[in-house]
Each structure stands twice: as structure tokens, then as C-alpha cells.
Chains A and B, each alone.
Chain A
């Protein structure tokens, strides 16, 4: 995926609470990072509250990056509250299917994105 050099990586660190209440702010942060860098690496390890608006924003950021041939990736495999929200929301269910023979390439990519096994 992506062909950006190491110098283009912009790091975004989210901590504390990322919910619908500050979704506009989260959106703005991601937008700014995407405009400034070919590769955006998002650090989510210090979050202590998230809801699906945040998950949706990460997916949207990734969708936009794909369209523009940029890279948005997580700094590490999801954990803590984010992983919990993904699991409860059914975003990791397909990951279980990846073990089956019928998982598609795109599914595997989703799985890699969240669990940080995506090729760099």
C-alpha cells in the first residue's frame, strides 16, 4: 500500500475521550493530518472512552486515504476501549472469518488495519 517516504509520516495521538461530543474536533484533526502528510499514523493506546462515531471517523479517514492513494494506519494493534467497541460493534467479526478459506482480500485488509498486521 502507500508509497510515501518515512519523512512524510504524520503522527496523531488520541487520548482521553473520543466520542460524538468531540467528533467535529476529531474530524478536524484527522483532516489536517491527511492534508499535511502522505502517511498518517494514529496512536490510540491512551484512549479511555470511545464510541462508534470515532470508529466511523477512522474508517472514513482510511477510505479517503485509499481514494487519494495515501496511507492511514494505526500505530499499534487496537486495544483497550477501542478494541472493546470494535468487538461489540461487530467490526472484528470478519476477522474471525479470515481464518476460514473464504475471506477476501479486502476483508483481510480491514482485519490488518485494526489489528495492525497491515503491510507497511
Chain B
């Protein structure tokens, strides 16, 4: 078992935080007043800085500090989140990523330019903060994200007469974090002896905050010259510490007095007050501090940590650890492999148990089957992630490309919650980048071109994901000019891909754009037009056992649909027999099974349509498709499967039943066999082919269309 390098943990965490930052910034462009977005961006910056310092990424922490300082001004409403500010913060985010992932390649000059620009964008308010930052940062390199401070202050005697309202100071302290405030009244004299406008009050405040000491001091900026103020970090361990420890730590009482009180075995607070060692107010303040720390310890707010950060880091890690853990993807792959093997063995066990007469063995086999099924589902759910995490990455790309090409582009994403195997999602990244770039570069017109075509100036790229049976459909749509059918045909003929004058359907013709080296672009741009990419995209999608469909309408846009299997590993299958061969089909695609009697079969010869509750559903005789020589069973079954809203019946000899299907890829030799999507191993060790439902439905539809055309 390998242990995770803390630096790697930080890199992973930072990657997520930078993504969060990027999303917030991009959203802010459209909703500059959204405080949640501003806070989200600020939190991300703040955590990157804090964690970076904690894990020794000093350059990251130092750089991020300046960006955070600037963004703090946004948070406080002093600087608006302008487009310029967002642009420079995005650039800063890229630089932060560089500093984290490849610090050797990060140019310090780039960082300086970004910070200079940032400074200009936010104006003077940040200048002093930026100038002071290195000193402050030096103190914070090992600073925690949160720390607990003991703030004790007594205002000048004439503070209230001079217009200071202590309540406002206390409110401001509360605004910095979680504060427990205790007033000290022991300095208030009897009425007869006091000047009514003098201030005799003092306060003890325990504050847990992520802000540095300087920010706490800022609260007292206007009264600091004439007051008593102490701000000390609290470093009490455990559940907030014992009251004696707190009193000694606060300097309120000597250790000897505490020891004496403890020896007397009476409530310590009572004893110390009785003996005059501490005043009731002092004890109250210490008790309040104890309560504050205990509350912090219980809530996991890290209140028990001192500003050295070590304890806090640990506390946060534990708190996060209860929510989620990071596991290397290869371990999940290994787990999935083992589950696959288990499912195959379980299948064999079930078969052996079914053929015997031992009821107990059968019961055990059923129990193991249930457990294996649950284990499979649990393992698969561990591996799935919402596709939104992938879609989110493209927002920045679209934003940057729009700027680069002078186009206005709106990115719309739908179905982000659709879950897909993590491996599939990762491998979709590059193909989708290619497809989106193509759509932006070739598909969408310039704003002028769009206006001339009577369209809104801003083009629209739509990313959609949805489940369709055992597949996930990911669609990349644009509302651009659409594919130029004539041009594709001409180019394909020029390149000898099709004979001159060949009559191809749209689908067939559009598939030609996936041929290596095929490009119709008139000019080569940074993005596309070199004829490299679409063939790579197709290979990548096929590598995922997926397919690409293209639909395009001139002047209205193009839609590419990637059809991807839900998982690359195990599916619930329905096992059927055709002749002596057994085949599996994804259970999720099965709608129902109906009987096809010999008479009905004979009657439907020449038409091959079933009447399913009034609907005519085309069916395919798999016996014919697979050239089976054995005579058919008397009562054949038609398994009605659906795909993309269309239904087809598959006529088989026998429906055997459910089968946990561990998918094994076919060899390269069988790559062009379209009827089968893969193979699986049955309980008796035999191999069963897995039917490719999408292709069979297409075949059935083609048959239906021919029939309709003929009639």
C-alpha cells in the first residue's frame, strides 16, 4: 500500500479549488452582484494560500496572497468584480496552477506582470496591502486557516466621551469570526465616585477567525493610542482545557494558587474567587473562554488550534476525512476487476447449485448472488462522477476562444448531474475539447455573419448529457452555419474516399469527416482546419465502446451525439439462446418479452412486424442473422428492445434469464463486427457474445423504412 505524499494531497486539493475559483469567476461575469460567487472565489483563494503555506508551497502562498488581498476588496464591496478584474484573476489562477504543477516552468516575471495588472485594476486601496504583504506573509507562512485569539482590552477613560462606541468595536470583532465576548465590570466604581462619561469597562473576547492578527488590530485603529490591548493566540489543547490552565495561560492567576486550590478538592473557580486570587469577572471571562473553546472543539471549527496551524490542519483533515477520502483511480480499477472476477465465479456457482438438488447450496448460491450484485452496484457507484465536473472545464475554454476569435458565445450545459464512470469521463475530455473547438471555429459564424443570417449575435454551444438505456448520450450542439454537404462530398471525392457522384445519406456523408486527414476548412487556424483531430476523436470514442452520430441542418447548426456505455465493466444482462448459441443483451434496453408462436411467425413472413398493443414493431430473426442451421423451437420469443426511442423485436429461441455480464472487449480482428458489442464469460466457462442493441435497432429501422417505402 502506497502512502500519499502530503504535497500530492495539496496538489489535488488545489486543483479542485482552482476549478472552483474558475467557475466562480466565469459565473461572476454574468452575475457580478452575486455575493455567494464572490465568497466562493475568495474562499478558494484563501484556502489555496493557507494550505499552500502549510504544505511548503511558499511561492504559491505568496502569490495567492496578493490575489486574495485584491479579491478581499471585492468581497468588502470596495472594488467591483469588473471584467478586467475577472480576466486578470483568471490569468492569476493559471499562474497559480503553473506554480503548483510545474514550478520550474513558472516564470516569476509573468507573476509580477499579473500582480502589477491586478494592482492597477483594483486601484490604490490594495497598494499598501500588497506592499506590506511579504512581511505579513512571512508571519503567515505557517499560519493556519483559522486560529483562536484572546483579545483583552480596556478603552481610554475618555473614549466614550470622545465618541467611541464600544459596542461597534465588539460588533466588528464578531464580524471577523466566532466570538465570545465577556464584559469586565470590576473596574466600575460606586456611583458616588464616578464621572458619568468616563469609561470603566473592559472586555475579554475569545475570537476564532481566519483573519490574521493585523486585521484584528485594525478594529482598534482609531482608539489604539489610548487604550490597553492585548491580542494573544490561544494554544489550549484537548476540549478547551481546564479552567485552571486557562486562568494561568491568561496570566490571571499563578500556577501555585491553582495547585493549592486543586489540593483543597473544591470547585476551583469558587475557591479562587473566595481566596481573592481572581475576581468574579475574571473567572467569568475565563469560563467564557473555556466554553468558546469547547464549542469549537465539538463543532470541529478548529477553535482549539493555535495560530501555529499544526493542530488545525489535523482537525480539518479529520473533519474532511469523515466526508470523503481520496483514493487513487487505479485502486478502484483493481477493485472493479476483482468484482468482475467474483461475478463470473458467482455465476458458475449459481449454475452448479441450480443443477444439483441440495437446497442449502442453492440458498447459499442465491445469497452470494445477491451480495455480488450489491457489491457490483456499490463498486460502480464509487466510480461514477457527475459529468458536470467535465462540462465545467469547458467554460473557461469557450470564454477564451470567444475572446481569441472575436465571437460571442454562450455555453449552455444541461444534464450535468448525469453520472458516468470516472474513467469514461476522463477519456472524454480530449475528444470533447476537439469537438467544441471545431464547433466554435467552424460552426459558429462571426457576430456580423450571424446578424446577416438573422440570428442573434451571440452563438450558442449546447452541451447535453442524459441516460438512454444502458448508454449515456453526450451531445455537442451549435446554432451555427451547419455542415456544408456539397463541400464535404467534393472534398471526399477529391481525396478518393468516395467515388465521384456517389449518393450517400447525410449520416454516411457526415461520417466522412472522421476520416484521417479530412478537412474542408478554407483556412488553417490555431484551433482547427488541419484535418487532425476528428479521426482521433472517433478513435477515442470507439475506444470507449462509444459511437458518434452527426446531424446537421444548413444554417441552423450541427449536433454531434456521443453514445457511450454507462460502464466499461459490468452490466445487467438478459441471456438468450439462438440455436445452440447463447447471447447476452443489456437488460436496461429490454422492454418486454412476447411469445411468437409458429403460426404467428408463419403469418408474419415477408413482413416481420409484431403487433404490440396496437403498435407495429419491426422484428429481426436472429436465427437468420446468425445463419443458424438447427431447427427453431416451436415457441419462439421476441425480446422487445428499445434504443433512442425506437423499438425492435429480436426473435430468439429461448429467454434464459438475468445474467451479470462482465464485459470483455472483442479482439481487434472483430472490430468491424457491428452486431456485437463484446463478449462475456458464462458460469460454465462458455463465452457468450453481447448484442449491440443500437446497431440492431438501426437495422430494424432500416427494414421498417424499406417496408414503408415499398408500401
Interface residues of B, Cβ cutoff 8 Å to A: 160-161, 165-167, 170-171, 180-183, 185, 188-194, 196-197, 199-201, 203, 205, 243, 267-270, 273, 280, 283-284, 287-288, 291
A sample of 8 more A-B contacts (CB under 8 A), given A26-B196, A53-B160, A102-B287, is: A52-B167, A61-B191, A63-B189, A88-B170, A89-B181, A93-B182, A94-B287, A96-B288
A13 within 8 A of B: no
Chain B residue at minimum C-beta to C-beta distance from A30: B191
Residues in chain B near residue A102, CB distance under 8 A? 243, 267-270, 287
Can you name 17 A-B pairs with beta carbons within 8 Å? A30-B191, A51-B160, A52-B165, A52-B199, A52-B201, A57-B196, A60-B189, A60-B194, A63-B191, A64-B192, A89-B201, A90-B170, A90-B181, A97-B284, A101-B267, A104-B270, A104-B280
Q: Bound state CA distance, A26 and B191, in angstroms?
A: 11
Query: A6 — which chain B residues lie within 8 A by C-beta?
Result: none
Tell me if A9 is interfacial: C-beta within 8 Å of chain B.
no
Say yes or no: A34 contacts B191, CB within 8 Å: yes
Contacts of A106 in B (CB 8 A): 273, 280
Q: Give the docked Cα–Cα distance between A111 and B131 (Å).
A: 48
Q: Which B residues lie within 8 Å of A57 (CB)?
A: 191, 194, 196
If the complex has contacts A26-B196, A104-B270, are A60 and B160 also in contact, measured as CB distance less than 8 A?
no
A12 at the interface (CB under 8 A from B): no
Q: Are B183 and A63 in contact (CB under 8 A)?
A: no
Choose among A24, A34, A93 the residue with the greatest number of B CB atoms under 10 Å from its CB: A93
Indicate if the CB atoms of A67 and B196 lie closer than 8 Å. Answer: no
Residues of A within 8 Å of B167, CB to CB, are 51-52, 85, 88-89
* Bound complex: CA A30 to CA B268 (Å): 37
For B283, list chain A residues within 8 Å (CB): 104, 107
Binding site for B on A (CB under 8 A): 20, 23-24, 26-27, 30-31, 34, 51-53, 56-57, 59-61, 63-64, 67, 85, 88-91, 93-94, 96-97, 100-104, 106-107, 110
* A67 to B288 CA separation, bound complex (whole angstroms): 27
Residues of A within 8 A of B191 (CB): 27, 30-31, 34, 57, 60-61, 63-64
Contact: B280 with A107, CB < 8 Å? Answer: yes
- The 7 closest A-B CB pairs, nearest first, are A90-B181, A64-B190, A106-B280, A27-B196, A23-B196, A94-B284, A64-B191
B182 neighbours in A (Cβ, 8 Å): 90, 93-94
- The answer for the CA separation of A103 and B290 in the assembled complex, in Å, is 12
- In the complex the two chains form, what is the Cα distance from A103 to B283 in whole Å? 9
Tell me the smallest distance from the CB of B161 to a CB of chain A, in Å.
7
Known A-B contacts A31-B191, A34-B191, A56-B199; the reply to A89 vs B270 at CB < 8 A is no
Q: Are B192 and A90 in contact (CB under 8 A)?
A: no
In the assembly, what is the distance between CA of A107 and CA of B284, in Å? 7
Query: How far in angstroms is the closest Cβ of chain A from B206?
Result: 10
B295 to chain A, nearest CB (A): 11
A20 to B199, CA, bound (A): 10
A61 to B181, CA, bound (A): 23
State A59–B189 Cα separation when bound (angstroms): 9
Given A91-B185, A101-B267, A51 and B165 contact (CB-CB distance below 8 Å): yes
Q: Which residues of B contact A88 (CB under 8 A)?
A: 167, 170-171, 181
Cβ distance B397 to chain A, nearest Cβ, rounded Å: 50
Q: Are B190 and A20 in contact (CB under 8 A)?
A: no
